[in-house]
Amino acid sequence: MGCAWDGPAPDPRAAESFAGPWCGTRYHRVRRVSGPLLLSACAIATSITLLACGSQASALPRPPAGLQAVVEPGAQSTAVADWPATGPSLGSGGPSLDMMVTKSMLYAAAVRHGLNPYLVMGLAWHESGWNPNAVSSAGAIGIMQVMPATASVDGPELLHRTVNLYDPADNIDMGAAILRNNLDHWNGDLAKALTAYYAGGRAVTDWADLREDCRRYVWAVYDDAVMFRDGRGPA
């Protein structure tokens, strides 16, 4: 019995890991005891376990500030060697052409909106695994998992046009624009920007008061961005 976990386990290869928001419970063999006493003992053990798990989850730290989210105009040209390669891979063991095309679109959208390409790639990977046909149970669509109602408002407002979320390029452009708008609104605070992307602006608060699912989401996207930055991504 452990704390509930509603997302994927962190990549054990991640360069910057964290104490995950779950904890296990060891099982010990016990002697046979009477029914009421056994129930009381189980209830006490369960309470202790939940308290321990809760205290561990609440200790989830804020992600480090080393991942630059916003890239000023012109910065790409001065550090081009640091950005991901987006050319086609001809090796038989390399990523598929579809993956490389998606990577190129994510890179282009990041540059267009002044974002760190690794951050955009990590966000898209956590949201959909770069699957353009992904549709969530809530109705979020595509690679960046954008809600149609959000796109109907933010498309004209942020991109000055309507968008087709079923078109991968439009979907990525919309998601990147939303992320950049969030970063601008919350003064470059990555945790708040990602929280707004995940749960809306009303969920945004200081890290100490942030919901646990929001904290896990921020960490998951951060870890995926680091994965791509360190060359351990799928493409």
Calculate the alpha carbon distances from 110 to 8, 18, 23 in Å.
25, 27, 36
Numbers of helices and strands, H then E, in the chain: 8, 0
**Three-state DSSP class for 62?**
coil
Calculate the alpha carbon distances from 106 to 54, 86, 96, 176 in Å.
37, 10, 15, 8
d(CA 63, CA 219): 6
Give burial (CB, 10 Å; 0-12/13-18/19+) of 103: buried
Domains present along the chain, CATH in parentheses = 75-229 (1.10.530.10)
Write the DSSP string, 15-52: SS----S-------------HHHHHHHHHHHHHHHHHH
Find tokens 């351990």 and name the residue: 232
What positions carry a catalytic annotation?
A: 127
d(CA 122, CA 234): 11
Question: What are the structure tokens assigned to 92, written together?
Answer: 């038989």
Question: What are the structure tokens assigned to 117, written together?
Answer: 């390409």
pLDDT of the chain, 235 residues: tens digit per residue: 443 334 444 343 333 333 333 333 223 333 344 455 444 544 444 444 433 434 344 457 888 876 788 886 665 544 444 555 544 444 556 678 999 999 999 999 999 999 999 999 999 999 999 999 999 999 999 999 999 999 999 999 999 999 999 999 999 999 999 999 999 999 999 999 999 999 999 999 999 999 999 999 999 999 999 999 999 998 8
